[in-house]
Structure 1
């Protein structure tokens, strides 16, 4: 109860990593934490990937998606609307796909 939001997030992630998974799903991993803690969580996620762990990140923050992802899956009405390689991907394309507007 006395830890910051960022430290709480780190502890939750550490508990799951203790099970030595091959894939980890992080749902809104930086929601509600300050910018410094966000950078630390992003750095930690990059370290996990460098160690061979697959990270699936669910996020509603477009800069986070574009900055952290190799591949982006856009969901619309509970279904996969499109899958993109992140090379050259922009926020406008993601928003149009999510809204069902031809990109």
Structure 2
């Protein structure tokens, strides 16, 4: 399920370390799978998303970019993804979320950077943000 982080001194893979990392991520991320060897494409869309995020988390990345992270997943899994993003941010990981869903941005982000046709149109603090202001900023 996860790419190897359990590498030895000369880059050899330690399968037991990989298994432990994968099992920890499965539990932490609430990934529903029959075995850790299950092919990712046989999982639901939400569980596929969680496996991918689990890989990033296991790599101890300092910045994670989520591009339409909840597209095609059910409401329960969306809530889990939001919780994962908040947890990462609380741990000091930089989280950038790209979304076309304005309510999603308003509910998750602490600030919104508005781009239109590749150009920066503005940055809005969440306390000032509304769907109307985001759309107005995009068309400026």
**Shift in Å at residue 6 of structure 1?**
0.6
Aligned to 1:16: 56
Structure with greater strand percent: 1
Q: How does 1:21-32 map to 2 (within 5 A)?
A: 21-32=61-72
1:67 corresponding residue in structure 2: 107
Which SS does the other structure have where 1:57 is aligned? strand
Runs (5+) with no aligned partner, structure 2:
1-40
Aligned to 2:17: none
Shift of 1:2: 2.2
In our comparison, the structure showing a higher alpha carbon Rg is 2
Following TM superposition, the consecutive aligned residue runs of length 4 or more in structure 1 with deviations greater than 2 angstroms are none
Q: Are 2:117 and 1:84 aligned?
A: no
Partner of 1:87: helix, strand, or coil? helix
How many Å apart are 1:46 and its aligned residue? 0.8
* Distance (whole Å) between structure 2 residues aligned to residue 45 and residue 55 of structure 1: 7
Measured after TM superposition, the shift of residue 19 of structure 1 is 1.7
TM-score, normalised by the number of residues in structure 1: 0.92
Query: Over aligned residue pairs, what C-alpha RMSD do you find?
Result: 1.0
Greater Cα offset, 35-44 or 11-20: 11-20
User: d(CA) in 1 for partners of 2:89 and 2:109?
Assistant: 11
Residue deviations 1:52-75, cap 9 Å, x none? 111000000001100111111000
